[in-house]
Structure 1
Amino acid sequence: MKPTRALALTAGALAVGYGAPALTSLAPVRPLLAPRLSGPGDPGHVALTFDDGPDPASTPLFIEELAKTGTKATFFLLGRMLQKAPWLGRELVDAGHEVAVHGWHHRPLLIRRPRATIEDVTRATDLIGSVTGQEPRYYRPPYGVLNASALYAARRNGLRPVLWTHWGQDWTAKATPESVLRTVTKGSLAGATLLLHDSDCTSAPLAWKSTLGALPRVLERCAEQGLTVGPLREHGLR
């Protein structure tokens, strides 16, 4: 084999290996490739999680709504958002919620260099811990797409990657409280990890209003099924 061809094959193999974890972003194949990555937990429990905050325009309203039922959740924070509103990170923790890492920037990891990915996760982890006083335990990559560098960065920072079993598709301009409820509660909720958004910083403008509107009914639906709702730390992750 010619050296140039060998180098090309090696480079190709490395590229495939680097991006292979991204296959877990495909919901149909995730249970086969990484059954624990979606966050299945205690069959009597539902993990409620929110991405993309904290946002002064919307996150306080979610805190207020959750307080009505005493429900706690896990908020996957973006470093750049927390840097703008550090008091909101502290408010989340003071209200009994769990904070986790969504990275610093909400950028697709497959187009980022390894060092940039590692720095992104590490920088966000450090800020969340220092600002809130709570050391984060979980990591969710932007768009739910992992790569080898993200897995390394998570392990290096003592984080467990967790995606979701159910989502509300609440980031689109077409989303309504009814569509969010219908989508996020589709299928059995026993042991589910729900993905919703408390900010529109990466979504259609004001998309969070549909999420907030659906939230009380989502909690009611879980209660109707005899399920307890809480953060990932109480989920009994498998």
Structure 2
Amino acid sequence: MSGVAWAKQLTGVAAVGALAQAVPMVTSLGPVRAAVWPRLTGLGDPGHVALTFDDGPDPASTPQFLDALDEAGVHATFFLLGRMVQQAPWLARRIADAGHEVALHGWAHRAHIAVSPAQTLRDLRQGRDEVASAVGRAPTWYRPPYGVATAATFSACRRLGLRPVLWSAWGRDWTASATPESVFHTVVRDLRGGGTVLLHDSDCTSKPLSWRSTLGALPLLLEHCAEQGWKVGPLREHGLAVGVR
């Protein structure tokens, strides 16, 4: 191989490497992500809002969310961690039996940019299998921890038949300073019809008892959506087309 050809090959490898590093940065930036990848951001039917919860199932908190949603007559999508399902498979089944959509948040809550492609695939496969064993069917949706998706994330999703999806509005409900009012106002600041809301029904990766603020914000959020004329429900009813973009 000539020196020129070798230099071109190195340039190509460097470009691919730069792209692989850039992908997680782009997917973690909400406004950029929404413009470039609306489906990945969870932008769907303008008359609908997808309500999603991460990090469960947690026996200390998830049942209270299920009770609140049942009282409101609303279904949601729960992105479950495999390690949490392993500890409480009965609760994962309760979520599904109540009519909610069960999705995957991986096995452990680790950012994919910090692990190898093989570890990323193993994390998704182990989590998917644990969820499927608990509820009797494999999940369709997958949300990477911290919203950081790499090339390995998308590759693993294709291999395992998972559809990656992030969010368009969140409540920053994992912080020690969160209150029901702060969670509500943070969500609605970015929420539009067709948006996907990210909240947490567990504090397993958050400040202790932070879920209480989320639970307190839930009726405020549901009332706001009703006032706007938006139906609230799970991702399966959100009208998202197949594909990443």
Interval containing the TM-score (normalised by the shorter chain): over 0.9
Alpha-carbon deviation of 1:32?
3.0
Query: Among residues 104, 108, 117, which one is paired with 2:107 in the alignment?
Result: 104
TM-score normalized by the length of structure 1? 0.94
User: How many residues get paired?
Assistant: 238
Q: What RMSD, in angstroms, separates the aligned Cα atoms of the two structures? A: 1.8
1:136-157 per-residue CA deviation (whole Å, 9 max, x = no partner) reads: 1111000000001110111111
Specify the alignment match of 1:114 in structure 2.
117
Deviation at 1:69, TM superposition (A): 1.2
Secondary structure in structure 2 of the residue aligned to 1:48: strand
Of the candidates 58, 63, 80, which is equivalent to residue 60 of structure 1?
A: 63
- 1:16 matched residue in structure 2: 18
Deviation at 1:70, TM superposition (A): 1.3
1:206 aligns with 2:206: no
Give the AA of the match of 1:19. Q
**What's the TM-score, normalizing by structure 2?**
0.92
Contact 1:19-1:146 at 8 Å conserved across structures? no
Matches of residues 184-223 of structure 1 in structure 2 within 5 Å?
Answer: 184-223=187-226
CA deviations over 1:134-183 (Å, ceiling 9, x no partner):
32111100000000111011111111111001100101011000000001
Structure 1 spans left out of the alignment, 5+ residues = none
CA contact (8 A) 1:18 1:147 kept: yes
188-197 or 6-15: bigger deviation: 6-15
- For 1:31 and 1:227, the matched residues in 2 are separated by 20
Cα-to-partner distance string for 1:172-200 (whole Å, 9 max, x where unaligned): 01100000000111145311100000001
Query: 2:188, 2:36 → 1: CA distance?
Result: 24
SS class of match (2:103): strand
Q: Is the 8 A contact 2:54 2:198 kept in 1?
A: yes
Offset of residue 129 of structure 1:
1.2
The question of whether the paired residues in 2 share the 8 Å contact of 1:24 and 1:33 is answered with: no
| 1:81-139 CA distance string (max 9 Å, x none) | 11111111000001000010111110111010010000101111111112111321111
Is this contact kept in 2: 1:46–1:192, CA < 8 A?
yes
What is the alpha-carbon distance in structure 2 between the residues aligned to residue 156 and residue 124 of structure 1?
14
- Would you say 1:42 and 2:55 are equivalent positions? no
What's the counterpart of residue 85 of structure 2?
82
C-alpha contact (below 8 Å) 1:74/1:98 kept by paired residues = yes
Give yes or no for contact 2:34–2:168 (8 Å, CA) kept in 1.
no
What residue identity is the alignment partner of 2:135? T
Q: Which sections of structure 2, spanning at least 5 residues, go unmatched?
A: none
In the alignment, the residues of structure 1 paired with residue 207 and residue 9 of structure 2 have an alpha-carbon distance, to the nearest angstrom, of 44
Counterpart for residue 93 of structure 1: 96
1:130 counterpart residue number:
133
> Could you report, residue by residue, the CA deviation over 1:35-83 in whole angstroms, capped at 9, with x for unpaired residues?
2211111111110000000011100110011010111000000011111
Amino acid at match of 1:211: T
Q: Which has the higher helix share?
A: 2
Partners of 1:189 and 1:222 within 8 A in 2: no
- Give distance in 2, aligned partners of 1:80 and 1:3: 48
Give the structure 1 partner of residue 150 of structure 2: 147
Q: Is 1:168 matched with 2:168?
A: no
